[in-house]
């Protein structure tokens, strides 16, 4: 069973929540030939989704704050700034935090970054990179976005230094909320709580 199958068993998306996004404009703006297939499949299944009212995924959108390319390009200047934080000293082998190679696939309302190191020519090999808004703490994950979300919701990830993720889930229901991408009020259309054991 794939990670997406397991995630859908835990948090079944309501009928009609998935979206057929056109990723070509995003790829062209970012100068890549493809994005990780698991991420496209995840968004095709879940559409405009937020996990546990914390983790928002970016995608092609006419809204700049949701568009993956727009958010990525806007993030590169603050990521390159030396005003706050420093690059991590314990980078995994082969991983770079050069802002020119980072693509932001998700984030929090606090401004924390969920990124890919897009240095590998094969997007399915991209490492996940996490840092807080001030770039003081860093975290890395060698799997896919879908695998990370599934591991996080199950409490199986090593601590990622964003939003105190582990404490958010401790004793709380696992859920996701679905949104209408054309509704600027950002009102959730549906909420699904976990049906499968974590």
Task: Give residue-wise pLDDT tens across range 70-116.
Answer: 999 999 999 998 877 777 888 899 999 999 999 999 988 778 899 99
Q: What was the pLDDT predicted at 188? A: 66
Q: Per residue of the chain (198 residues), give pLDDT as tens.
A: 899 999 999 999 988 788 889 999 999 999 999 999 999 999 999 988 888 878 889 999 988 989 999 999 999 999 998 877 777 888 899 999 999 999 999 988 778 899 999 999 999 999 999 998 888 888 899 999 999 998 888 877 665 656 555 445 555 678 888 877 665 556 667 788 886 544
Instruction: Tell me the C-alpha distance between 15 and 7, whole Å.
Output: 15
Q: What is the DSSP string of 3-50?
A: HHHHHHHHSPPPTT-------HHHHHHHT-S---HHHHHHHHHH-SEE
> pTM for this structure?
0.88
Residues ≥6 apart with Cβ < 8 Å to 122: none
Residues ≥6 apart with Cβ < 8 Å to 75: 99, 102, 104, 113, 115
């Amino acid at each position: 069973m794939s990670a997406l199958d397991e995630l859908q068993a835990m948090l079944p998306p309501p009928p009609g929540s998935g979206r057929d996004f056109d990723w070509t404009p995003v790829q062209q703006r970012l100068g890549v030939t493809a994005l990780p297939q698991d991420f496209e499949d995840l968004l095709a299944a879940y559409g405009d989704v937020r996990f546990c009212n914390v983790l928002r995924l970016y995608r092609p959108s006419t809204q700049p704050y949701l568009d993956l390319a727009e958010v990525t390009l806007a993030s590169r200047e603050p990521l390159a700034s030396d005003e706050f934080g420093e690059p991590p000293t314990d980078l995994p082998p082969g991983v770079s935090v050069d802002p020119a190679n980072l693509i932001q696939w998700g984030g929090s309302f606090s401004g924390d970054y969920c990124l890919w190191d897009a240095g590998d020519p094969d997007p399915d090999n991209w490492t996940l990179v996490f840092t807080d808004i001030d770039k003081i703490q860093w975290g890395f994950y060698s799997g896919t976005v879908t695998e990370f979300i599934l591991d996080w919701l199950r409490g199986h990830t090593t601590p990622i230094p964003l939003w105190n993720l582990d404490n958010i889930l401790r004793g709380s229901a696992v859920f996701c909320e679905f949104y209408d991408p054309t509704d600027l009020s950002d009102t959730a259309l549906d909420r699904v709580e976990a049906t499968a054991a974590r």
